Amino acid sequence: MLSKSQAKLFFLAGTAVFSMAFLALTVDSLAQVPGRSNEAAMTPAVVRGKMIWDRNNCMGCHTLLGEGAYYAPELTRVYTRRGPEWMRAFLKDPNGMFPGERRMVAYKFSDQEIADLIEFFQWIGNVDTNGFPFKPDLAPPAPAAPVGGSRLASAPSTYKTLCNACHSIEGQGGKVGPALDDLRGRYDAVTLDKWLSDPQAVKPGTAMPNLKLSPEVRKELVGWLLPTK
Amino acid sequence: MTYKSQRIAYLFFATSMLLLSLQIVYGFIMAFAHMGYDVLHTVVPFNAARATHTNLLVVWLLSGFMGAAYFIIPEEAERELWSPKLAVVQWAALVVVGVIAIVGFHFNWWEGRKFLEIPRPLDYLVVVDVLAFLLNIGMTAFKGKRLHTTGMVLFVGLFAAALLYLPGVITFENQVRDSYFRWWVVHLWVEGVWELILGSMLSYLLIKLTGIDREVIEKWLYVIVGLTFLSGILGTGHHYYFIGTPKYWLAIGGIFSALEPLSFLGMALYGVTMARRGGRNHPNKMALTWTVGCAIMSFVGAGFLGFAHTIPQVNKWTHGTLVTAMHGHLAFWGAYGMIVLAMIAYAMPKLTGRKRYSGWVPEWAFWTSNLGMLGMTGAFAVAGISQVYLERKVGMDFLVVQKALQVHFLGLVLAASLFTIGIVLYIVNFIGYGLPRAELGDASEDADDDNLVPAAAE
């Protein structure tokens, strides 16, 4: 039967062996970090963005690389999911983007800080995470693009970067807001413009954010959303 | 109580009780926020509540470990504490640093690194404080007549915990490297050296409560902590699956994480077997109930749920979801919360000479807190698994899914209320013990019921 000294030896030897193995793997892992995390692309702006991320304890609500809290969305791939335009608009006024929804602390970031954060997210989006976050494997198949090419190809850039995050056309896009396939008959150009400039004035309590779009951008969007056949 | 200086432990135990109560308050703030009642958003936003909740946990456990060490080490070394004065100063410093840190969190003064949110200047104070603590128990052990295995494992655990805090004090600009070393602290604490502390406290309590020969208990202590390090060190790999580290961690982390439950299973079997085999009929049944309860619940929470969550094929979907919170709650409670409460339940009659370990209050404290925590784990499980399927597997929008999960947080709040009742009863009982009594500090003291046949309860 096992004696106390044998048990002690098991503890000491086991600890020594596995500590050494762990240290060896650590050396190898750290050697691979610059390549896998694309460290060459870590500009001063990226580092400043990381410091803003730390200083405000963003991990206290969000996850990054899947680490943090589970109160707010996972952000590793937020740059590809939302795009810089959307992120800029969101960070300017986090609660304006999702009125009446779960709130984010209104940090009042400066334009420079927002730019740094976006750089940081762009950098981390390219880290090789062994596939995380994984593509949903039970998602309903996306509808095939219609014959003759998608109308989305001709969409103004504002639509592609902002509106598209919540709304869809021809089944492509976000599912938070209603589909925008056929707005004719439901809106005229004047109402749609008013809606885009101040959603709450048209429909109090709506989840549609006020994106503070310039009159030119609104005109371009209205023209594309309500084409004259 | 054999040595007068063991009384110092009371300060740490009382601090633990206070911080645990506060931790529960912040838990409720977060649970209500998840239900959609984020009413304190402007005063205590979620990230402040979260940092406060987890740091209070770490500090109340550390305070409990320190109190336990001040209680156990003099007995294991068979002498008075090296410097009771330093111990009091060290306690006061711990409280001051803790209060500043917690208040600072509410004013955006922190580092956004999960579990290590305490800002850098305070980190250094923590290091100084822990060095003072280690010096004190180290000198006690060194100057003592002897140091039994249990005391030595406890000291090594505490020393290694202090050492492993250091990687958390380094600044990294690359998020990947930052995360890599953050786990050196967090993982190697809770699934490494803290298990030494847990194992030694468990072994101390079993020796005292069951009367089984020290040699037998300590032999198995070596086996258990041996298994801990055998699995737990490379088990760190389960944090390195998806953070930008090499792919081989999926295999290494997967295999060694699967072995991690072994040490917890060992602890559960150890606790149950020793308690059954023990010839001594110790009157402090509640201390034994908490001790065996801890051995079993740490296997369920840390061992089994940890295993289920760290299989790479599962973790691929559950990583970064509420499933982590499910495992985290039962693991911390079962392994570390319960051992501190077991220690306090054992030490208080010794410190105060009062025998408040029978009757409905301590019994209900045990059962309601444990059933409450199991209920909370269930609520987190339902919320977490739903989140995994809806958000990760079907690809639904985060906020849409969170709305659907709100109802499960009602379940969480109900279970947490049950848990809170248990903790309130425990604390009521703790307060009822009163302050430690100096005149008990005498080796010839008769009130030492470890050597008595069942004493009549008060």
How does residue B450 score in pLDDT terms, banded at 50, 70 and 90?
low
Residue type, B89: V
**Segment 128-167 of chain B within 8 Å of chain A by CB:** 149
**Adjacent-strand bridge partners of A172:** A169
**CB burial string A186-220: b at 16+ within 10 A, e below:** ebeeeebbebbbebeeeeeeeebbbbebeeebbeb
**CB burial string B370-391: b at 16+ within 10 A, e below:** bebbbbbbbbbbbbbbbbbebb
Do A125 and A78 form a contact (C-beta atoms < 8 A)? yes
Do B74 and B6 form a contact (C-beta atoms < 8 A)? yes
Decide if A14 and B229 are in contact by the 8 Å CB cutoff.
yes
Do B254 and B311 form a contact (C-beta atoms < 8 A)? yes
> Could you give the percent of chain B with pLDDT greater than 90?
89
Task: Report the chain B residue with the minimal C-alpha distance to residue A106.
Answer: B42
Of A28, A73, A129, the CB nearest to B242: A129
Phi (first) and psi of residue A226, to 5 degrees: -120, 70
Query: CB of B393 within 8 Å of any CB in chain A?
Result: yes
pLDDT of residue A175: 78
Number of Cβ within a 10 Å radius of residue B320: 25
**How large is the average pLDDT for residues B212-218?**
92
Residues of B in contact with A47 (CB under 8 A): 173
Decide if B176 and A127 are in contact by the 8 Å CB cutoff.
yes
Query: CB of B101 within 8 Å of any CB in chain A?
Result: no
* CA distance from start to end of chain A: 90
Q: What is the pLDDT of residues A13-63, one digit of tens each?
A: 999 999 999 999 999 999 999 999 999 999 999 999 999 999 999 999 999
Residue B374 lies in a domain: no
Q: Which residues are within 8 A (CB) of B180 and not within 5 positions of it... i.e. 6 or more apart? A: A26, A29, A30, A33, B240, B243, B245
Which of B94, B90, B79, B105 is closest to B5 using CA atoms? B79
Pairwise CA distance, residues A19 & B420, whole Å: 40
Phi (first) and psi of residue A74, to 5 degrees: -70, 135
For B23, half-sphere exposure in the C-beta direction (CA atoms, 13 angstrom radius) is 23
Decide if B236 and A22 are in contact by the 8 Å CB cutoff.
yes
pLDDT of residue B455: 36
Decide if A60 and B218 are in contact by the 8 Å CB cutoff.
no
Of B38, B244, B394, the CB nearest to A36: B244
Pairwise CA distance, residues B99 & B86, whole Å: 20
Q: Which residues are within 8 A (CB) of B424 and not within 5 positions of it... i.e. 6 or more apart? A: none
Residues written for chain B: 458
**How large is the average pLDDT for residues A67-94?**
94
Cα dist from B387 to A130, B213, B238, B380, whole Å: 21, 49, 21, 10
Residue B444 lies in a domain: no
Q: What is the pLDDT of residues B267-310, one digit of tens each?
A: 999 999 998 888 778 999 999 999 999 999 999 999 999 999 99
Contacts 24+ apart (CB under 8 A), B265-270: B265/B299, B265/B303, B266/B220, B266/B223, B266/B224, B266/B227, B267/B198, B267/B199, B267/B202, B267/B224, B267/B295, B267/B298, B267/B299, B268/B295, B268/B296, B268/B298, B268/B299, B268/B303, B270/B202, B270/B206, B270/B220, B270/B224, B270/B295
Distance from CA of A7 to the nearest CA of B (A): 5
DSSP E strand boundaries for chain A: 63-64, 67-68, 168-169, 172-173
**Segment 309-328 of chain B within 8 Å of chain A by CB:** 316-317, 319-322, 324-325
Distance from CA of B295 to the nearest CA of A (A): 20
Q: What is the pLDDT of residues A197-214, one digit of tens each?
A: 998 888 888 888 888 889
- A153 token code pair: 């190809």
Distance from CA of B382 to the nearest CA of A (A): 14
Residue B138 lies in a domain: no
**Segment 199-228 of chain A within 8 Å of chain B by CB:** none
Residue B43 lies in a domain: yes
Q: What is the pLDDT of residues A81-135, one digit of tens each?
A: 999 999 999 999 898 888 888 999 999 999 999 999 999 999 999 999 999 999 9
Q: What is the pLDDT of residues A138-179, one digit of tens each?
A: 988 877 766 767 788 888 988 988 888 889 888 888 877 888
Decide if B398 and A74 are in contact by the 8 Å CB cutoff.
yes
Do B249 and A34 form a contact (C-beta atoms < 8 A)? no
Task: Report the chain B residue with the minimal C-alpha distance to residue A141.
Answer: B394
Question: Which DSSP state fits B453?
Answer: S
| Domains in chain A: ranges and CATH | 38-129 (1.10.760.10), 152-225 (1.10.760.10)
Angle between helices B84-105 and B120-143 (to 10 degrees): 160
Decide if B179 and A69 are in contact by the 8 Å CB cutoff.
no
**How large is the average pLDDT for residues B165-172?**
91
Decide if B242 and A28 are in contact by the 8 Å CB cutoff.
no
Q: Is the alpha carbon torsion for A43, A49, A50, A55 positive or negative?
A: positive
Residues of A in contact with B114 (CB under 8 A): 59-60, 67-69
> Could you give the percent of chain A with pLDDT greater than 90?
60
How does residue B260 score in pLDDT terms, banded at 50, 70 and 90?
very high
Average pLDDT, chain B: 93
Angle between helices B84-105 and B9-35 (to 10 degrees): 10
Task: Tell me chain A's radius of gyration from C-alpha atoms.
Answer: 24
> Could you give the percent of chain B with pLDDT greater than 70?
96
Residue B364 lies in a domain: no
Phi (first) and psi of residue A201, to 5 degrees: -70, -30
Cα dist from A128 to A65, B27, B100, B243, B255, whole Å: 10, 34, 39, 8, 22
Distance from CA of A87 to the nearest CA of B (A): 16
Angle between helices B214-235 and B175-188 (to 10 degrees): 170
DSSP sequence for A75-137: -TTHHHHHHHHHHHHHHHSHHHHSTTSS--------HHHHHHHHHHHHHHTTS--TTPSPPPS
Which of A136, A133, A124, A126 is closest to B316 using CA atoms? A133
Residue B382 lies in a domain: no
Whether cis (ω within 30° of 0) applies to the bond prior to A133 is yes
Residue type, A198: D
Strands A172-173, A168-169: pairing kind: antiparallel
Residues written for chain A: 229
Which of A53, A68, A86 is closest to B50 using CA atoms? A68
Residues of B in contact with A64 (CB under 8 A): 175
How does residue B35 score in pLDDT terms, banded at 50, 70 and 90?
very high
Residues of A in contact with B236 (CB under 8 A): 22
Distance from CA of B407 to the nearest CA of A (A): 15
Q: What is the pLDDT of residues B362-392, one digit of tens each?
A: 999 999 999 999 999 999 999 999 999 999 9
Of A2, A60, A102, the CB nearest to B51: A60
Decide if B397 and A18 are in contact by the 8 Å CB cutoff.
no
Phi (first) and psi of residue A177, to 5 degrees: -100, 170
How does residue B456 score in pLDDT terms, banded at 50, 70 and 90?
very low
Pairwise CA distance, residues B32 & B270, whole Å: 39
How does residue A219 score in pLDDT terms, banded at 50, 70 and 90?
very high
Pairwise CA distance, residues B370 & B425, whole Å: 13
Q: What is the pLDDT of residues B136-159, one digit of tens each?
A: 999 999 999 888 999 999 999 999
Question: Which DSSP state fits A58?
Answer: G
pLDDT of residue B441: 53
Pairwise CA distance, residues B44 & B354, whole Å: 40
State the residue for tokens 């503070």.
A212
Task: Report the chain A residue with the minimal C-alpha distance to residue B392.
Answer: A136
Of A22, A70, A127, the CB nearest to B244: A127
**How large is the average pLDDT for residues B311-336?**
97
**Adjacent-strand bridge partners of A173:** A168
Task: Tell me chain B's radius of gyration from C-alpha atoms.
Answer: 22
pLDDT of residue B131: 94
- Tally of structural domains, chain B: 1
Residue B62 lies in a domain: yes
Number of Cβ within a 10 Å radius of residue B59: 25
- Look up the domain containing B66 and give its range: 1-119
Query: CB of A41 within 8 Å of any CB in chain B?
Result: no
Query: CB of B120 within 8 Å of any CB in chain A?
Result: no
Residue B151 lies in a domain: no
Q: Which residues are within 8 A (CB) of B329 and not within 5 positions of it... i.e. 6 or more apart? A: B301, B373, B376, B377, B380
Decide if A74 and B218 are in contact by the 8 Å CB cutoff.
no
